[in-house]
Amino acid sequence: MTDFTHTRADFPDDFLFGVATSAYQIEGHGFGGAGRTHWDDFAATPGNVVRAEHGGRACDHYHMWEQDLDLIAAAGFDIYRFSASWARVLPDGRGAVNTEGLDYYDRLVDGMLERGIKPALTLYHWELPSALADLGGWRNRDIAGWFADYTQILCERIGDRIWSAAPINEPWCVGWLSHFMGAHAPGLRDIRATARAMHHIGLAHGRATQVMRGLGMGNLGAVCNFEYALPLGESDADRSAAQLYDGIYNRWFIGAMFKGAYPADVLEGLAPHMPKGWQDDMATIRQPLDWLGLNYYTCKRIAHDPASAWPQLSEHVGDLPKTQMGWEICPNGLAHFLHFVGEYAGTLPLYVTENGMANPDTPEQPDHARIAYLNAHLDAAKTAMAKGAKLKGYIIWSLLDNYEWSLGYEKRFGLVHVDFESLQRRPKASYQALQQALART
Ligand code: IFM
């Protein structure tokens, strides 16, 4: 069996290892009285999702959660980063509460604590209730208030037992990927919608953080995704395009959350489309936080595209070895960001809140490629720590093979193989290697 290059003993005593999932991707949204989400609508529209697959059954974690928590505990993970579904708690996004949904999250959190696992909650991992999408979803400023109310209801019930919480997973995906690139629900390609969503996401983050502080919760953070932007060619134009891509992807949200300011280069393009009075919200967006989480997977080659409208750039894939997603394997980028975010997060603890790879795994084939990927990224993390990065934990995406959004169930990110017919779980070689590496000696 291929081993991990590092074991737990190579990291500081308080360094934590974890595994992550999200509600819509594993729970089975058709169970337990959850409301319809914009992902159900997106998947039901031809051309959006491979084979029109949706999260109706997914991994049926809703019924199999005990078995899944046992897998997390048996591997020796310290943290389980999970998310709650807004539409499971409030089927219409506001108004009537689905008590079955609250009971479910209550049981799930108790189940983690019983097994000695730290619950790391994400409040929103993309399953917007359809009823709120009808009202404009993230384009509507009122979403910040709706999200704050949902936060209050959920955290009044489970907040007392949560180890850490973050409001919104990967704001760039919620804003840019979903409203500008049209690749995720609601599938828009509209700059005005994008600017509004990119601002209201920050506002909702700020309001939810205030609510959780008000309830006495601690260890509150933000989880942003980062992609290492490299110029495609040597020209100044490509260099500037990569810099702008970096601003949109990597600096917009942390700029607002940690400095109360959007990056000037990005604002130049988005300002004409921003909602009126956005400047007055910056203090709410910039809430004191306790940590920053980085989701990191890959790099991207960026070129200037003079023929297109702002931001006048095109995305390319380079020659590095790739994962099943077609994403280049580029651990240098992780090391880069672990230093770069210090400019925003100062001395706050950092966590890698997602890192991992999709691989066309079968139960019979050991996933050596995943072990190598994780090794390379742990090496990069270790090197960054030696140079002063404040990294306190590393969380792998994902525990289980699951619903990879518009790519359906084909792309397998799990440490545990899931047969989507029988729902049988089978730990992969990477799970077993991690179990060895994490064992306390
Ligand atoms: O599956 C996703 C997850 O929902 C968010 N971060 C990236 C993962 C892999 O694409």
By most ligand atoms within 8 Å of CB, the mutation choice from 39, 127, 178, 405 for ligand 1 is 405
Closest CA to 57 of 427, 424, 420, 425: 420
By most ligand atoms within 8 Å of CB, the mutation choice from 397, 403, 407 for ligand 1 is 397
**Ligand 1 lining (C-beta closer than 6 Å):** 22, 25, 170, 295, 354, 397, 404, 413
Topology given in CATH for the domain delimited by 8-437: TIM Barrel (3.20.20)
Q: How confident is the model over 152-175, as pLDDT tens digits?
A: 999 999 999 999 999 999 999 999
**Whose Cα sits closest to atom 10 in ligand 1?**
404
**pTM exceeds 0.95 for this model:** yes
Calculate mean pLDDT across residues 211-227.
Answer: 98
Atom of ligand 1 nearest to the CA of 397: 8
Atom of ligand 1 nearest to the CA of 25: 4
By most ligand atoms within 8 Å of CB, the mutation choice from 85, 398, 406 for ligand 1 is 398
pLDDT band at 371 (very low <50, low <70, confident <90, very high): very high
pLDDT (0 to 100) of residue 182: 98
Find the 196 Cα to ligand 1 centroid distance in Å: 23
Calculate mean pLDDT across residues 429-438.
Answer: 97
pLDDT (0 to 100) of residue 2: 67
Q: Is the pLDDT reported for residue 1 higher than 70?
A: no
Find the 402 Cα to ligand 1 centroid distance in Å: 10
> Would you name the residues annotated as active-site residues?
354
Q: How confident is the model over 305-363, as pLDDT tens digits?
A: 999 999 999 999 999 999 999 999 999 999 999 999 999 999 999 999 999 999 999 99
Q: How high does pLDDT run on average in the chain?
A: 98
Q: How far apart are CA 194 and CA 179, in angstroms?
A: 5
Find the 389 Cα to ligand 1 centroid distance in Å: 24
Atom of ligand 1 nearest to the CA of 403: 1
Counting residues of the chain whose pLDDT is more than 90, the rounded percentage is 98
Q: How confident is the model over 381-426, as pLDDT tens digits?
A: 999 999 999 999 999 999 999 999 999 999 999 999 999 999 999 9
pLDDT (0 to 100) of residue 29: 98
Closest CA to 297 of 17, 13, 20, 16: 20
pLDDT (0 to 100) of residue 72: 99
Cis geometry, peptide bond prior to residue 288 (ω within 30 degrees of 0): no
Tallying the residues shown for the chain, one arrives at 441
Q: How confident is the model over 96-145, as pLDDT tens digits?
A: 999 999 999 999 999 999 999 999 999 999 999 999 999 999 999 999 99
Find the 178 Cα to ligand 1 centroid distance in Å: 14
Q: How confident is the model over 233-258, as pLDDT tens digits?
A: 999 999 999 999 999 999 999 999 99
Q: How confident is the model over 56-102, as pLDDT tens digits?
A: 999 999 999 999 999 999 999 999 999 999 999 999 999 999 999 99
Find the 129 Cα to ligand 1 centroid distance in Å: 19
Q: Is the pLDDT reported for residue 180 higher than 80?
A: yes
- How many CB atoms are located within 10 Å of the residue 225 CB? 20
Q: Which two tokens stand for residue 420?
A: 């989507």
The 3-class secondary structure across the chain, one letter per residue, is CCCCCCCHHHCCCCCEEEEECCHHHHCCCCCCCCCCEHHHHHHCCCCCCHHHCCCCCCCCHHHHHHHHHHHHHHHCCCEEEEECCHHHHCCCCCCCCCHHHHHHHHHHHHHHHHCCCEEEEEEECCCCEHHHHCCCHHHCCCHHHHHHHHHHHHHHHHHHHCCEEEEEECHHHHHHHHHCCCCCCCCCCCHHHHHHHHHHHHHHHHHHHHHHHHCCCCCEEEEEEEEEEEECCCCHHHHHHHHHHHHHHHHHHHHHHHHCCCCHHHHHHHHHHCCCCHHHHHHHHCCCCCEEEEEEEEEEEEEECCCCCCCCEEEECCCCCECCCCCECCHHHHHHHHHHCHHHHCCCCEEEEECCCCCCCCCCCCCHHHHHHHHHHHHHHHHHHHCCCCEEEEEEECCECCCCHHHCCCCCCCCEEECCCCCCEEECHHHHHHHHHHCCC
pLDDT (0 to 100) of residue 3: 85
Calculate mean pLDDT across residues 266-281.
Answer: 98
Q: How far apart are CA 274 and CA 199, in angstroms?
A: 8
